[in-house]
Amino acid sequence: MTEANAQQGSPASRETAPLTPVLTRRWLSPESWTLSTYEQLEGYTALRTALRADPDQLVELVKSAGLRGRGGAGFPAGVKWGFMPKEPSKPHYLVINADEGEPGTCKDVPLMMADPHSLIEGCIIASYAMRANHCMIYVRGEALHCVRRLHHAVREAYDAGYLGTNVLGSGFDLDIVVHAGAGAYICGEETALLDSLEGKRGQPRLKPPFPAQAGLYSCPTTVNNVETIASVPYIVNGGSDWFRAMGREKSPGPKIYSISGHVENPGQYEAPLGTTLRELLELAGGMKDGIPLKFWTPGGSSTPLFTADHLDVPLDFEGATEAGSMLGTTALMIFNETVSVPWAVMKWTQFYEHESCGKCTPCREGCFWLAQVLERMVDGRGTEEDIDTLLDVCDNILGRSFCALGDGAVSPITSGIKYFREEFLALCDRNEGARGTQDERDDKAGEHGRSQAGDPALAGAAR
Amino acid sequence: MTVAPEADTRPVPEGHVRLTIDGVEVDAPEGELLIRTAERMGIVIPRFCDHPLLDPAGACRQCLVEVEVNGRAMPKPQASCTMTVSSGMVVKTQRTSQVADKAQQGVMELLLINHPLDCPVCDKGGECPLQNQALKHGRSDSRFRDSKRTFAKPVSISSQILLDRERCVLCQRCTRFSKQIAGDPFIELLERGALQQIGIAEQQPFQSYFSGNTIQICPVGALTSADYRFRSRPFDLVSTPGVCEHCSSGCAQRTDWRRGRVMRRLAGEDPEVNEEWNCDKGRFAFHYATATDRFTRPMVRDAATGQLRDSSWTEALRIAADGLMAARDSRGAGVLPGGRLTVEDAYAYSKFARMALGTNDIDHRARAHSTEELDFLASTVVGTGPGDGAVTYADLESAPTVLCAAFEPEEESPIVFLRLRKAARKGHTKVFHLGQWDSPGVEKTVDIVGSGSPIHSGGLLPCPPGGEAEMLQELPAEVDEALCRAGSILVLGERAARVPGLYSAAVRVAERTGARIAWIPRRAGERGAVEAGTLPTLLPGGRPVADAAARADLEQTWGLERGALPVAPGRDVDGILAAAASGELSGLLVGGVDPNDLPDPGLAEQALRSAEFVVSLELRPSAATEHADVVLPIAPTVEKSGTFLNWEGRAREFGSTIERTGAVPDCRVLDTLAVEMDVDLFTQTPAAVSGEIGRLGSYSGRRPQAPRVAAPSPPRPGPGQALLATWRQLLDNGSLQDGEPHLAGTARPPVARLSAGTAGRLGLAEHQPVTVSGPAGALTLASEITEMPDGVVWLPGNSGPSRVNRELGVGHGALVELAAAEAPSTSAGPSTGDNPARPDNPAGAATQLGSSTGPGGGRTDDSRTDGGEG
Ligand SMILES: Cc1cc2nc3c(=O)[nH]c(=O)nc-3n(C[C@H](O)[C@H](O)[C@H](O)COP(=O)(O)O)c2cc1C
Ligand code: SF4
Ligand code: SF4
Ligand code: SF4
Ligand code: FES
């Protein structure tokens, strides 16, 4: 237990839930990514079971297991699969969202690196359940190594008869295509992903029609996260009761929490949904160097910040929401007391400004504006009025944007100001009334009219 | 629509839902977008990206409203331009909802943070949706204290269109228009976030015949035309509705002018015809009317010098009348009015020929024509219109099948093209083309790619040029079956006159399948001229010359003695020219006719030279005025009133836009001329003519028989020979396009097209120039390998050096000789690259107006006088 946690001192921390290695079970095996390791460790057994079942039975199984999407929104996977038409008049597609762009999120790439066949097996079962003969895995372009590994694994699966025509003699055909994106956060949004996959500019599509009606190439399509689909073989083998034995009523199953930042042992920790940060910190060896916790994200930067007051919030879909944030991708970014909140918020906002796809006004213009105000504040040239402006601009973005990126972009700002307003005010106090004139600011502006904030590290250390 | 103050107890009409907007109950058709329902109630929700003719985008977020469905309030405000009505919905707009109002104000503020303070110098200022809505729905101050994003000021995206990225609000109207409506996706969004911008690909300018529409629908001043940029402020302009004079589409248009000068033209709205679009020719080609060489005074040929000299109207009319009377009384005079007249003017020519010259030697078809066509017009076309079963735009849109034969919609009638594309895009219409190659217009009406899955409708039915009639009689079973579906349409274009047997075959196919025939001529005046009887066998109102009762009827209305009208059918254009050339005719009365448009320009010039007396009614110097004894100036369309009949037979009336210029319409000139000849035409004004046409009514007797001409097989090209396929491009050497170099820069570069097989046999390398020769001479153009039948070469009819009638002396379907040319052709490059209009890198530095938009390719200044009437 770290100093940080010790200070918060909670009796509940003694009965921590243990790790539940399900998806991560094979990760430490030698050459875990090879087909032979996979097969030795129960690999492709669920597939054989699944192919003997009726596709609709599998949909029912996933429904009754209560598996919820691991890509951020937590939509029940079985329900989503149920939206696919039963009679294929057009080709059906399963698309795996392996774009993993949410800041702090690091679970899908490790999974595909360590155990690609579990994803492939999940893809085959899910495709069979949804009567899809084509499955695409859309991988974040930067994860080159991961793309190679997937290609290799897919080739192995073809050679072993798990893919291609007449999978394991079942009469079911499936082709998997591994596709590398070009590195845009928005291409993780499922409809932008589909456009990107079609070779178009990655921008979110208008819904309806939803992908199940008209997705990839206007055909019925289901988009699922890597972790969602990789969970499926275990559910087929273990059954829904086994799955529901982990986690909580409405958020059952195990979950890979990716913990980064100021902890002793950052990494992926697979634990039942509903595990608290206090418990996870214990697994991760506590706060780094014992410096106390200041703030953290429960599910990536798009989920409102939590503070040390939230150590005991059960990290499942309901728990995180009730406490005023969201479970997101269970990307826990942990920050200790040395970090300036306005600085961190500025960095995140710069990310959103850079990643806004540009389609809609609130997010495109709003992020551009917010980033400049924050840069100015961190640079010691902010005013109290700027704080009001920030909040009001956030209000004009949240729920007004075309897609959820805009909503996510305001999370760090609104929650940062909510919990750490005085830090923002303190920056304004440093302004000494010497707000630069417009001319001075213009002098600093570059081609795109942007002045860069001062050295962020200094800004952080200034605390 | 029903708007009731209290809960409406009447049943909801079939196919409708009842909802409440701002406290008022309203019934709306299922599927209607909220923003439209509100608009019908008089509630205007601000918007930028929304456009009723484009697929919804939901991009600008300006139109947010609060919505309650099934009694539950939706957590976020919704875009009213993307959400459809549903039963029991409760909608609160900015008028009744704080949330909606704040959301709208917020979006407006955000749209303005990066918007430059250009309003005082912006073309759009004064008619700018952003400016207007900012004043109405925006904050009075801005809280934005930081630095605006800046871009280099306007970049050319074609020789005509300039883009100011700072002003752009990224509504995607322009890109959606180009992708969805025009099918020319040559502008796209580039980059992302606040750097997102409209742009073009590096090697591909925004080359579209419809590009001007993007300027009109751009809700800000981001898109401007080189032609109009900085010329005026909207509030200084007078807007006059009118009709485009170029093609037979019949677009409604708006002409904006100031102090007697036209500053710009825009598409007018007419849902039945052009919806809200027009083509770039209609929009930008109007400078011909103010060309410096326009005639303002009559001229007569000075006997001493042989040169034309200015004269008074009195003198000119006297000389013209004397000369024409002498010609009439000698061996007769023929009349060539040309295909660009209003119905009223054409009627005056028709009446003049019969009454003043006593002849049926009159034919407006200043292009290839045939007797078969004449019979087809008399039997099938004349006297029809939208009211009585003739094919309309709406019919094209709802037809299960449209087969275009010898017709190139995008080049010849751009709005027909847009309708065909719209029909195909909806997925209910199959469009087939009987032609030679997958031209852009063919491709865009049969392969629709865009949002959603690609649609493949219909296709090209390739045949050798001249083989269209034969092909029509042996249609593939699939096409034949498709044509048998009720509501199907068979379209014939101008070059059908070059294909013997095609009209006859079309009539037979129509009889057999039940498909209706639409005849779509290229020029704006052609359809009306058929009604006016400027044809050797037809009198006004479709009365056959050969029908004594019809003649008697006309004699009565015209106040003539019984038997006064000439009885013998007249000569057609070819006949009149041949007769004039050989001395069988003494005089010619010529309207807007350019020899280059005629199948045999040489014969036309010889006729003009040989005729003893020539009177020319013209706007500007032409081959006719060069030989004329008297030139009488007439008013361009913009300075007169009148009516065009578009291809549907729909009357497109227009008033005069620029008044009191002293220019008079042809009908008035002819009226006065006739008076000098002691004949009263009563055609002083278009209104008078129009009244007379109304009183006259149309022919009610038996229609002449449809033609039954056999279709000969096209000749077989021998070694070194090919069959010539050719048609006119929309933007070409036509003289009505003179004076607008930016428009000319967007013309398709002239190339000769042939198949890989044909090129291989010639030993022709890719893009290597090829020389095509015919009886009159040869022309050389860069070649482009195109998928098309072997043994065929395609040339643009009148583009750049490719003036097919003049240089070759033959037309579509004829045998020509082919040879690889050594030297590269100077005036034409390959169709990609090389366009002088190619703009600088869109992300690069500002491009100055004058420097980047000099005269474009495809046309040189000297094409003015011999460029063809268009
Ligand atoms: C801006 C944005 C980025 C997203 N990025 C990802 C991502 O990288 N990976 C992912 O699985 N889902 C991402 N999502 C969520 C997807 O849109 C979608 O909900 C998810 O892939 C569905 O899969 P699931 O139901 O299995 O969770 C993103 C959503 C948004 C709005
Ligand atoms: S909120 Fe709008 S601008 Fe931002 S990513 Fe989504 S669609 Fe693009
Ligand atoms: S150029 Fe005009 S029409 Fe095109 S996106 Fe920008 S504002 Fe919209
Ligand atoms: S389509 Fe024809 S009528 Fe319409 S604007 Fe173009 S040239 Fe004029
Ligand atoms: S008008 Fe509705 S989002 Fe643009």
Looking at the structure, do residues A381 and A423 belong to the same domain, yes or no? Answer: yes
In which band, very low, low, confident or very high, does the pLDDT at B844 lie, cut at 50, 70 and 90? very low
Mean predicted confidence (pLDDT) in B190-203 = 95
Look at domain B721-866 and name its CATH class. Answer: mainly beta
Q: Torsions phi, psi of B33, nearest 5?
A: -80, 145
Of B64, B77, B82, the CB nearest to A206: B82
In which band, very low, low, confident or very high, does the pLDDT at B855 lie, cut at 50, 70 and 90? very low
3-state secondary structure at position B275:
strand
| pLDDT greater than 80 at residue A13 | no
Check which CATH number belongs to the domain holding A188 and give it.
3.40.50.11540
For residue B35, what are its two tokens? Answer: 């923003």
Mean predicted confidence (pLDDT) in A308-337 = 98
Cα–Cα distance measured from residue A302 to residue A363, given in angstroms and rounded to the nearest whole number: 13
In short, whether B471's Cβ falls inside 6 Å of ligand 5 is no
Q: pLDDT digits over B678-710, tens only?
A: 999 999 999 999 999 999 999 999 999 999 999
Instruction: Name the residue of B157, B161, B166, B173 whose CB sits within 8 Å of the most ligand 3 atoms, as the mutation to test its pocket.
Output: B173
Q: What local confidence, expressed as pLDDT, does residue B455 receive?
A: 82
Q: What local confidence, expressed as pLDDT, does residue A432 receive?
A: 67
Looking at the structure, do residues A296 and A410 belong to the same domain, yes or no? Answer: no
Looking at the structure, do residues A233 and A271 belong to the same domain, yes or no? Answer: no
| pLDDT greater than 60 at residue B122 | yes
Q: What local confidence, expressed as pLDDT, does residue A88 receive?
A: 78
| pLDDT greater than 60 at residue A29 | yes
| pLDDT greater than 70 at residue A104 | yes
Q: What's the predicted TM-score (pTM) here?
A: 0.92
Q: Which atom of ligand 2 is nearest to the CA of A364?
A: 3
Residue with tokens 């409203």: B65
Please tell me the distance in Å from B116's CA to the nearest CA on chain A. 12
Q: What local confidence, expressed as pLDDT, does residue B138 receive?
A: 82
Q: Which of A11, A10, A20, A5 is nearest to A254 (CA)?
A: A20
Fill in the amino acid letter for A254: P
The answer regarding whether domain B299-367+527-696 maps to CATH 3.40.50.450 reads no
Q: Which residue of A has its CA nearest to B452?
A: A218
Q: What local confidence, expressed as pLDDT, does residue A430 receive?
A: 82
Q: Which of B419, B402, B401 is nearest to B410 (CA)?
A: B419
Q: Which residue of A has its CA nearest to B188?
A: A201
3-state secondary structure at position B618:
strand
**Using a CB-CB distance cutoff of 8 angstroms, which residues of chain B are in contact with residue A359?**
59, 170, 196
CA distances from B5 to A4, B8, B9, B30, B85 (A): 64, 8, 11, 22, 19
In which band, very low, low, confident or very high, does the pLDDT at A3 lie, cut at 50, 70 and 90? very low
Q: What local confidence, expressed as pLDDT, does residue A120 receive?
A: 98
Mean predicted confidence (pLDDT) in B840-850 = 34
Look at domain B147-290 and name its CATH class. Answer: alpha beta
Looking at the structure, do residues A230 and A255 belong to the same domain, yes or no? Answer: no
In short, whether B471's Cβ falls inside 6 Å of ligand 3 is no
Mean predicted confidence (pLDDT) in B248-252 = 98
Mean predicted confidence (pLDDT) in B776-792 = 97
Q: What local confidence, expressed as pLDDT, does residue B685 receive?
A: 98
**Using a CB-CB distance cutoff of 8 angstroms, which residues of chain A are in contact with residue B56?**
206
Cα–Cα distance measured from residue B520 to residue B527, given in angstroms and rounded to the nearest whole number: 8
In which band, very low, low, confident or very high, does the pLDDT at B5 lie, cut at 50, 70 and 90? low
From ligand 2's centre to the CA of B219, what distance in Å?
A: 21
Q: What residue's CA is closest to ligand 2, atom 8?
A: A357
- Asked if residue A407 is part of any domain, the answer here is yes
Cα–Cα distance measured from residue B589 to residue B435, given in angstroms and rounded to the nearest whole number: 36
Mean predicted confidence (pLDDT) in A142-163 = 97
Among A336, A351, A368, give the residue marking a domain's end: A336
- Asked if residue A10 is part of any domain, the answer here is no
Q: pLDDT digits over B409-432, tens only?
A: 999 999 999 999 999 999 899 999
Q: What local confidence, expressed as pLDDT, does residue A354 receive?
A: 98
Looking at the structure, do residues A57 and A200 belong to the same domain, yes or no? Answer: yes
Domain count, chain A: 3
Q: What local confidence, expressed as pLDDT, does residue A70 receive?
A: 98
The 8-class DSSP code of residue B380 comes to I
Among A194, A221, A240, give the residue marking a domain's end: A240
Looking at the structure, do residues A61 and A193 belong to the same domain, yes or no? Answer: yes
| pLDDT greater than 50 at residue B505 | yes
Q: What local confidence, expressed as pLDDT, does residue B141 receive?
A: 84
Higher pLDDT, B387 or B805: B805
- Asked if residue A28 is part of any domain, the answer here is no
In this structure, which ligand is nearest to the CA of B169? Answer: 3
Q: Which residue of A has its CA nearest to B113?
A: A365
Look at domain B402-518 and name its CATH class. Answer: alpha beta
Please tell me the distance in Å from A113's CA to the nearest CA on chain B. 30
Domains of chain B, by residue range, sit at: 3-110, 147-290, 299-367+527-696, 402-518, 721-866
Task: Print the domain residue range for A305.
Answer: 246-336
| pLDDT greater than 90 at residue A340 | yes
From ligand 4's centre to the CA of B247, what distance in Å?
A: 5
Looking at the structure, do residues A109 and A164 belong to the same domain, yes or no? Answer: yes
Please tell me the distance in Å from B60's CA to the nearest CA on chain A. 5
Cα–Cα distance measured from residue A57 to residue A38, given in angstroms and rounded to the nearest whole number: 25
Looking at the structure, do residues A200 and A82 belong to the same domain, yes or no? Answer: yes
From ligand 1's centre to the CA of A97, what distance in Å?
A: 7
Q: What local confidence, expressed as pLDDT, does residue B454 receive?
A: 75
- Asked if residue A31 is part of any domain, the answer here is no
Looking at the structure, do residues A87 and A132 belong to the same domain, yes or no? Answer: yes
Q: For all residues of chain B together, what is the average pLDDT?
A: 93
- Asked if residue A390 is part of any domain, the answer here is yes
Contact B143/B200 with Cβ under 8 angstroms?
A: no
Q: What local confidence, expressed as pLDDT, does residue A435 receive?
A: 46
From ligand 2's centre to the CA of A403, what distance in Å?
A: 5
Q: pLDDT digits over A341-394, tens only?
A: 999 999 999 999 999 999 999 999 999 999 999 999 999 999 999 999 999 999
Q: What local confidence, expressed as pLDDT, does residue B457 receive?
A: 83
Among A211, A240, A269, give the residue marking a domain's end: A240
Cβ–Cβ below 8 Å for A396 and B59: no
Check which CATH number belongs to the domain holding A442 and give it.
1.20.1440.230
Pairs of CB atoms within 8 A across A/B? 127
Q: pLDDT digits over B630-661, tens only?
A: 999 999 999 999 999 999 999 999 999 999 99
CA B447 to chain centre: 22
- Asked if residue A11 is part of any domain, the answer here is no
Cα–Cα distance measured from residue B518 to residue B490, given in angstroms and rounded to the nearest whole number: 6
Domain B3-110, CATH among 1.10.510.10, 3.50.50.60, 3.10.20.740, 3.40.47.10 = 3.10.20.740
Question: Do B147-290 and B299-367+527-696 fold alike per CATH?
Answer: no
Q: Which helix (H) or strand (E) holds B394?
A: helix B393-398
Q: What residue's CA is closest to ligand 4, atom 4?
A: B251
In short, whether B157's Cβ falls inside 6 Å of ligand 3 is no
| pLDDT greater than 70 at residue B488 | yes
Of B82, B147, B169, the CB nearest to A441: B147
Q: pLDDT digits over A382-431, tens only?
A: 999 999 999 999 999 999 999 999 999 999 999 999 999 999 999 999 88
In which band, very low, low, confident or very high, does the pLDDT at B139 lie, cut at 50, 70 and 90? confident
Of B61, B111, B147, the CB nearest to A445: B147
The pLDDT > 70 percentage for chain B reads: 93
The 8-class DSSP code of residue B307 comes to S
| pLDDT greater than 60 at residue A455 | no
The pLDDT > 90 percentage for chain B reads: 90
Q: Torsions phi, psi of B809, nearest 5?
A: 75, 10
Mean predicted confidence (pLDDT) in B5-16 = 82
CA distances from A166 to A54, A133, A163, B569, B868 (A): 16, 11, 8, 77, 67
Looking at the structure, do residues A319 and A370 belong to the same domain, yes or no? Answer: no
- Largest Cα separation within chain A, whole Å, is 78
Q: For all residues of chain A together, what is the average pLDDT?
A: 91
In short, whether B222's Cβ falls inside 6 Å of ligand 3 is yes
| pLDDT greater than 70 at residue B26 | yes
Q: pLDDT digits over B437-470, tens only?
A: 999 999 999 988 766 667 888 999 999 999 999 9
Q: pLDDT digits over B703-723, tens only?
A: 999 999 999 999 999 999 999
Cα–Cα distance measured from residue A73 to residue A302, given in angstroms and rounded to the nearest whole number: 11
b/e string for B35-47 if b means 16 or more Cβ within 10 A? bbbbeebebebbb
Cβ–Cβ below 8 Å for A361 and B194: no
Looking at the structure, do residues A57 and A91 belong to the same domain, yes or no? Answer: yes
Mean predicted confidence (pLDDT) in B566-571 = 97
Q: What local confidence, expressed as pLDDT, does residue A369 receive?
A: 98
Helices (H), A166-275: 190-197, 211-214, 226-230, 232-244
Q: What local confidence, expressed as pLDDT, does residue B7 receive?
A: 62
Q: Which residue of A has its CA nearest to B144?
A: A369
| pLDDT greater than 90 at residue A57 | yes
**Using a CB-CB distance cutoff of 8 angstroms, which residues of chain A are in contact with residue B194?**
353, 356, 358, 364-365, 367-368, 448
**Under an 8 Å CB criterion, which residues of B touch A?**
56-62, 64, 75-77, 82, 102-103, 106-107, 109-111, 113-114, 143-150, 169-170, 188-189, 191-196, 451-453
